[in-house]
Structure 1
Amino acid sequence: MSLTAHFIDKKWNLHKRILNLIKNGICISHTGEFMAKEVETCLNAWELNRVFSITVDNASSNDVGIKFMKKWMNARNCLLLNGEYIHMRCCAHILSLIVKEGLKDEDISITRIRKAVKYVRSTPSRLARFKGCVEREKISYKGIICLDVETRWNSTYLMLVTVVKYEKAFDLLEISDAKYVKELSKDKGPGVPLSKD
């Protein structure tokens, strides 16, 4: 859990400062009450006594935490605008949830592509074979194919954009590397990426 302060100085310059970071192993509880107390402790330590809003993701425990924070801040007259804007939901988290829901429709295609990238990136010899396919197909794009982080939709997007540029190399790999086809199809796997993917 991290606590970051955003503020505007007297010259209207926006600033951002990390105030505190609590490692997962230390964080005993993910309850709203615990998080609120940690934020309170940090604000007190930094002697911060005016808060406009707190931005959190959409976990229900954060709703509880904001209620505790609002109650505590109201009692100490810390809230700007009577806390009208205290609870802000993280738009990046909302966007991520929307994209993840939308990607469910393409889940099998993304799985096939992810497994193909994982295969190519798993050993230096496989990567060298793939680079050979890139050269034979005369693909001039120099970007590196990277495996995505499944919980970060933007990394999935970057993986897909790069793979599209190397589509012909993956097609050639399918013809020239029997292990590639076998590996992606074993245990009733999804198989190699199709042209529609």
Structure 2
Amino acid sequence: MPSRHPQQRPTRRPGGPQRRTPATSGSARATAEAAPPRRRFTHRMAVLVLVVGVLVVSYASSMRAYLDQRSHLADLRAQIASTEQDIESLEREQRRWDDEAFLEAQARERFGWVMPGETSYQVIGRDGEPLVATDDLPDPGSVPEELPEAWWSKVWGTVETADHPERVRTPATQLEAPSND
């Protein structure tokens, strides 16, 4: 049987009674209780705080760049929308110049031209200066098209009229004089 060293701790058996050795009772327990408390701020904690701080700074700068880019994109989109409106306006003006009536009106207004067989008149005001014409042709795209009334709405109107005819009073055959009572 192997011999035990007197200061060696006995091994614990699961479920068995625990033995106390003379070294664990009394003075050792007092020194364990009197040991200084563990520090709350350790080196690991300092490294963790440093890493989190670096991440916050890097993400904050990235977030600022992201927000700057978003505002720049919004400005560019607004500029694109404005340019598209300008393009639409110029295309509308070009379509106006393709209209023969508009060309004729511009030639009459700007150059004073008349068609063959017409007589040109110019109205002069009291001050001796010619009066300026104020009527303009509207933009062809801005004139609403008048759509004829659909046939089924006309038919439905006659059905409603037939269902509720207007009551006509029958005329009186004799007129009565008002009584003076």
Common topology (TM > 0.5): no
The structure richer in helix per residue is 1
Q: TM-score, normalised by structure 2?
A: 0.20
The structure richer in strand per residue is 1
Larger relative contact order (C-alpha < 8 A, sep ≥ 6)?
1
Q: TM-score, normalised by structure 1?
A: 0.19
